[in-house]
Amino acid sequence: MQNISVYLNQRASNGGHDWQGQINNALFRSKIEYPVSSTMEELYANLSRDIENNVDAVLSVGGDGTVHSIIQMLAGTDIGLLVVPGGTANDFARTMGSSSNIKKIAQTIRLNTRKKIDLININGRFMATNGGLGFAAEIAGDINAIRSEFPQFKKFMKLSGKNIYSLFAAKRLMAREVMSYKFKLESLELNDVFYAPLVLINNQPMLGGSFEVAPHTNHQDGKFNLTIFKHQNRLELIACVLKILNGKFPTDDPNVVVLETTEAKIELLDGAEELSFFGDGEIFPKSKSWHIKCYPNFLNVFSPKDQVDLENFSGQIVSLT
């Protein structure tokens, strides 16, 4: 019998479903516990208990922010994580091929379809998906601030889904001025001092559900993608962003710098105020420097996408024989 701990984030934008009933039905042969975590301290205490008891799986119902909190404890352990999309962008769940069809994706736990993926560490804090500095962090901050101040905003987020990020991005980009910052980058591949309104750190292709900023990046290559937008002209930046939103990465744009690396340091220059870094949709503590490092094969995950690929492959083998 498998031992499974389930973490339900009722504050996520899709937190109103009867997840518990569906999970109990899909995994009726398993021993399932639903630890209550009203605070971050309680969450970490519950996850510590899961690690100590060596549970077979942790199932998370929530968005990328919930994933972000859980991986701080599961990083570097052998416990597998399955994520059910219950948030807004659900970038992590989407990349894993997960869905809200509990009966279907629960098969990955029963059949133990898991793999190891890379994590990115920023100033001592792990990130599973994408993040960065500049106006994207400001967008994440705007959304989180409104969500905290106006609980009813959650209903609007549920209706708009991943489009909420595009709406807030448009609001920022339509302002008369987009702030640009002077950064210093140190890495094996590139050392540079530059002005940029946006720097993104990517562990997977998609950001915010629709912004494919790193089409050739994956979370099993032992590296992370760093994309710098050096545009000083607002209209040129808007044109670049629109291209990416339309699925056409601007490979010919001289103001877009892309590199893959294992480690980098970014420093804010010119005496500017500290900036927030955002990762997995969450806002990190403000800083003037960021040490970024890839930790290869550092998180065990259950992957519905790989389960489907395996089933399709098996079907092809059967048809050939």
Reported as a single tens digit per residue, the pLDDT across 28-57 is 999 999 999 999 999 999 999 999 999 999
Sign of CA dihedral 298, 220, 244, 267: positive
Domain ranges of the chain: 3-113+303-320, 126-296
What pLDDT is attached to residue 172? 67
In whole angstroms, give the CA distance from residue 206 to residue 281. Answer: 13
In whole angstroms, give the CA distance from residue 134 to residue 278. Answer: 9
One-letter amino acid at 160 equals S
Task: Give the SS3 label for residue 244.
Answer: helix
Which among 105, 118, 92 is positioned nearest to 57, based on CA atoms?
105
* 267: Cα separation from own chain's centroid: 23
What pLDDT is attached to residue 130? 97
Do residues 245 and 239 lie in contact, with contact meaning Cβ atoms separated by under 8 Å?
no
Question: Any idea how long the chain is?
Answer: 321
Contact partners, residue 321, CB within 8 Å, separation at least 6: none
Q: CATH: 1.10.275.10, 2.30.33.40, 2.60.200.40, 2.40.50.140. Which one for 126-296?
A: 2.60.200.40
Indicate the burial class of 172 (C-beta count within 10 angstroms; 0-12, 13-18, 19 or more).
middle
Write the DSSP symbol of residue 29. T
Entry pTM = 0.88
What pLDDT is attached to residue 161? 56
CATH topology identical between 3-113+303-320 and 126-296: no
What pLDDT is attached to residue 178? 81
**Each residue's pLDDT tens digit, 73-108:** 999 999 999 999 988 889 999 999 999 999 999 999
**Each residue's pLDDT tens digit, 276-318:** 999 998 999 999 999 999 999 999 999 998 865 545 534 444 4
CA dihedral 59, 155, 129, 22 (to 10 degrees): 20
**Residue 163 in tokens:** 């489009």
Domain 3-113+303-320 coded CATH 2.60.130.10:
no
Which among 178, 187, 180 is positioned nearest to 266, based on CA atoms?
187
pLDDT at 148 over 90: no
Which among 128, 176, 125 is positioned nearest to 286, based on CA atoms?
125
SS (H, E, C) 254-305: CCEEEEEECEEEEEECCCCCCECCEECCEECCCECEEEEEEEEEEEEEECHH
What pLDDT is attached to residue 176? 64
What pLDDT is attached to residue 142? 67
